[in-house]
Amino acid sequence: MVDKGGKEPLETISLLIEGAGSGRDADLLKAKIWSLEGVKELNLDMESRQADVTFDPSRTSEKEIIRSISETGMTCSMAKVKERSTWWKEKQQLALYGCGIITFFSFILMFLGVGPSITNALFGIAVLVGVYYPARKAIIALINLTPTIHLLMLIGASGAILLGMWYEAAILIFVYSLGDVLESYAVDKARGAIRSLTELVPKKALVRKDGHEVIMPTEDIDVGDMVIVRPGERIPVDGKVFQGMSFVDQAAVTGESIPVQKNVGDEVFAGTINQNGSMEVRVDRTASETMLSKIICSVEEAQSKRTSYQRFSDDFARWYTPAMFALGVAVATIPPLFFGADWHTFILRGLVVFVVSCSCGLALSVPVAVVAAMANAAQNGTVYKGGAYLEVVDEVKAIAFDKTGTLTIGRPEVSDILVYSDITEEELMDLVGSIESRSSHPLAAAIVRKAKEINAFSGKEVKDFQEISGMGVSASADGKQYLVGNARLQQDKGVLLNEYRESIEGLESKGKTVVLVGSEGHLLGLIAITDTVRPGAKDALQRLKDMGIVTVMLTGDNERSAKMIAQQVGADRYYSQLLPLEKVELIKELRAEFGTVAMVGDGINDAPAMAVSDVGIAMGAAGTDIAIETGDIVLMSDDLSKLDYLIRLSTKAITIIRQNIWISLINISFMVVAALLGYLGLVTGLLLNEASAVFVIFNALRLLKWSKTTDASVAVSSDREPSASGGAAN
Ligand code: ADP
Ligand code: MG
């Protein structure tokens, strides 16, 4: 038995590997290090040749690890012990601090009356210490002949020195580098929020192999392996419970805050937390294919579908920096050359223009806002597949919902079986069940389930099976042709319904879907099916309506049951008996009427409608791959109450982006005018500039922590658990 529950604090060491080159070496190293007892985590970066090993010090030691690496023929040395590179250890920050401290020190000397020869020398040293990193970037820019911000900055500082403004130069370098560090910290933080999702999956798993329990790296686990998950552990794989039962906190994948009970046969997801029971899980997907890794991939790819604001800020940066460069040069040269103005004054003004244009606040704050909003969404079980959808969702005026599987649970149950010919109920269910077992429609599944339940299902031989989209199916069995589907289907194929109209309509007006079984012009019987309205659907729609959004229900189902369900959920409008292509037409009409329209569906036969809407929102059912592929946004938890969260989040993100753009633009224009008129000094110019950049970026970062309750004016009702589900009993 292997014990994973050690209480010792873990230690991390970083090792520099010498003599490693190829990927094969990496595999060898990995195998070697993982073979040690007590190793909990291994991060191997072959590019920097660094291995970070986290281990339980009571079970192994640094020496053990180093020894086992040397057995491979490679050698290693300690890179940084224990803690991973904390940020103050970075060289760039050291340079920044050095520059700051020396500047500060020489300021004090200056106030104490020490002569300028000494203080200026100290300021010069501060510049030398701090300038290295900005200068490196500036030189790259110079080589590429692109006037970047770093280059403008460097010119500003050199100019200040040439004009004998030593302390300005030192402060310039310091403030600029500080801004740079703060900005990259903010960007890392936003990116890291997405990357931290990856870290939810344990690196190692306890696997049962040939009767033994072994610890394996999660990425080496295969489909079909048995993984043992103890209480309190994170589940390392996607799979089905094979043995045991437990409550699982699925917040990481679905955003649901309440743990879900898992019994044998239920699906569990990598990254979720097993709470109280021990379970054995049969693996369904390899580590790179899990739901969580799909979420992460989607979010990462999403950064390529950019918002119009991002395009704006990029375009802006493209002409702004060169324009400022030209303006700076013009200000420094034209007045003294042609109008006999004072060189010193105008060179200084030109430098101030350079310095105030050293802002990347605008360029950075938009992508940071987008990434932060998407990270927030991912943590709430919703996945944006493009930053551009933030903008679309913010503008949504109407939302169309598919009925089955979206507004209803999509797990319909057979409630009535009526036979109109000389066959028995069992014979009817056997026949229809056998035909429907070929269909993937939720109604078909309900019929098959019922047929099996009453022991009528024999699995007859079925031929010529055909699905008639939005209407039903046809097939032949026992030498006869059968039609199973709605009234429209039967009428189209000449099955007479007249004498049964009344009982059909009676069932439909109770909200039931009636599946008719016809053959050779006659109705053999019908099967009535009920589907429960999703608990919370009504609340969710109400909250959308409170926000002024029109809710529309679309369904292929009959008029009466559509009306019934639409009333139950409180949809503003409903359209029934739609074929999938008619749903597409309808979405087009809604777009013409409302402008921006979202379509919420489960991806089963409503994918085309989702595709023509401005933004398709897929019900993820925490696992269906179709949803993840068809939706522009995916609701991993099937939870309609996430819709108003999505809208509020998107609106918040767009508001913050607009704020930032305005703040940056106003600030820039103010500073440029002030600089031209000579009202702005080098230091104040740069301080204003960096302060605004840091401000807008941190303003964008607020989206990481934003939650609906902090902003929502409408309280979230908590009493939406029981309610519906009545009447669905057998
Ligand atoms: P929805 O819009 O509610 O998702 P569909 O477009 O999937 O509905 O189907 C519309 C109607 O077609 C159903 O209400 C049902 O009457 C009929 N139908 C579709 N597929 C089947 C099937 N496999 N068996 C029986 N009836 C079906
Ligand atoms: Mg459907």
pLDDT of 13-71, one tens digit each? 777 777 665 556 777 777 788 888 888 888 776 656 678 888 887 788 877 888 888 77
Write out the residue limits of the CATH 3.30.70.100 domain(s) in the chain: 11-82
pLDDT of residue 365: 80
Architecture of the domain whose range is 413-530: 3-Layer(aba) Sandwich (3.40)
CB of 443 within 6 A of ligand 1: the answer is yes
Q: Is 313 in the pocket of ligand 1 (CB under 6 A)?
A: no
Q: How far is the CA of 556 from the centre of ligand 1 (A)?
A: 6
Which residue in the list 238, 249, 394, 402 is annotated as catalytic? Answer: 402
Tell me how far the alpha carbon of residue 576 lies from the centroid of ligand 1, in angstroms: 11
Q: Residues 569-627: pLDDT tens digits?
A: 999 999 998 888 899 999 999 999 999 999 998 876 788 888 899 999 988 765 466 66
Tell which atom from ligand 1 comes closest to the C-alpha of 436.
Answer: 23
Asked whether 583 lines ligand 1 (CB < 6 A), one says: no
Q: Is the CB of 576 under 6 A from ligand 1?
A: no
CA of 537 to the centre of ligand 1 (A): 21
> How far apart (Å, rounded) are the C-alpha atoms in residues 226 and 222?
9
Considering only 76-85, 296-305, 474-483, which range has the smallest mean pLDDT? 76-85
The protein residue whose alpha carbon is closest to atom 19 in ligand 1 is 472
Q: Which CATH number fits domain 11-82: 2.30.42.10, 3.30.70.100, 3.30.360.10, 3.40.50.300?
A: 3.30.70.100
Percent of the chain's residues with pLDDT above 70? 88
- For residues 81-109, average pLDDT: 72
Mean pLDDT over 338-355 rounds to: 87
Residues in Cβ contact with 684 at an 8 Å cutoff, skipping those fewer than 6 apart: none
Complete DSSP assignment for 551-613 = EEEE-SS-HHHHHHHHHHHT-SEEE-S--HHHHHHHHHHHHHHHSSEEEEE-SSS-HHHHHHS
Ligand 1 atom, smallest distance to 441 CA: 23
Residue with the smallest CA separation from ligand 1 atom 13 is 557
Query: Of the spans 262-271, 365-374, 426-435, which averages the highest pLDDT?
Result: 426-435
- Intervals of CATH 3.40.50.1000 along the chain: 382-408+533-643
Burial zone of 304 (CB within 10 Å; 0-12 exposed, 13-18 middle, 19+ buried): exposed
402 given a catalytic annotation: yes
Longest dimension (CA), the chain: 115
Q: What is the pLDDT of residue 34?
A: 80
The CA 579 to ligand 1 mean position distance, Å, reads: 9
Which ligand has the nearest atom to the CA of 578?
1
Looking at the CA of 580, which ligand is closest?
1
Q: Please, how many CA atoms are within 13 Å of residue 331, restricted to the half-sphere of its CB?
A: 23
Q: Residue 188 CB: number of other CB atoms within 10 A?
A: 12
Residues 285-341 have pLDDT tens digits of 888 888 788 777 777 776 667 788 878 877 877 788 788 888 989 998 998 888 888
Confidence class of residue 258 from pLDDT cuts 50, 70 and 90? confident
Q: Which residue lies with its CA nearest to atom 7 of ligand 1?
A: 470
What is the predicted pLDDT for the residue at 399? 96
Which among 661, 353, 337, 713 is positioned nearest to 546, based on CA atoms? Answer: 713
Given ligand 1 and candidates 411, 414, 486, which is best to mutate, with the most ligand atoms within 8 Å of its CB? 486
Strand partners, 517: 484, 525
> What pLDDT is attached to residue 145?
72
- Measured from the Cα of 484, ligand 1's closest atom is 25
The residue nearest atom 10 of ligand 1, judged by CA position, is: 556
Q: How far, in Å, from the CA of 604 to the mean position of ligand 2?
A: 5
Return the ligand number nearest the Cα of 474.
1
* Tens-digit pLDDT profile for residues 645-699: 999 999 999 999 999 999 988 988 888 899 888 888 888 888 888 888 888 888 9
3-class state of residue 471 by DSSP:
coil
Residue closest by Cα to atom 4 of ligand 1: 404
Q: Select from 417, 447, 471, 504 the residue to mutate for testing ligand 1; criterion: most ligand atoms less than 8 Å from CB.
A: 471
Which ligand is in closest contact with the Cα of 607?
2
Which residue's CA lies nearest to atom 8 of ligand 1?
556
Is 507's C-beta closer than 6 angstroms to any atom of ligand 1?
A: no
Question: Mean pLDDT lowest for which of 197-206, 541-550, 605-614, 694-703?
Answer: 197-206
**Cβ–ligand 1 contact at 470 (below 6 Å):** yes
Cα–Cα dist 269/380, whole Å: 15
User: How many residues does the structure list for the chain?
Assistant: 730
Q: Is the CB of 518 under 6 A from ligand 1?
A: no
pTM over 0.85: no
**Mean per-residue pLDDT of the chain:** 83
Ligand 1 touching residue 513 (CB < 6 A): yes
CATH 3.40.50.1000 fits 382-408+533-643, yes or no: yes
Residue nearest ligand 1's atom 16 by CA: 486
Report d(CA 220, CA 433) in Å as an integer: 41
Topology classification of domain 204-287: 2.70.150
Which range (130-139, 218-227, 281-290, 551-560) has the least confidence? 130-139
CATH 3.40.1110.10 spans which residues of the chain? 413-530
Concatenated DSSP letters of 66-132: HHHHHTTT-EEEEEE-SS---GGGSHHHHHHHHHHHHHHHHHHHHHTT--HHHHHHHHHHHHHHHHH
Ligand 1 nearest atom to the CA of residue 602, by list position: 4
Q: Is 485 in the pocket of ligand 1 (CB under 6 A)?
A: yes
* Tokens of residue 524, six digits: 């053999």
Listed in order, the ranges of the chain carrying CATH 2.70.150.10 are: 204-287
Chain centroid to CA 608: 23
Q: Which ligand is nearest to the CA of 414?
A: 1
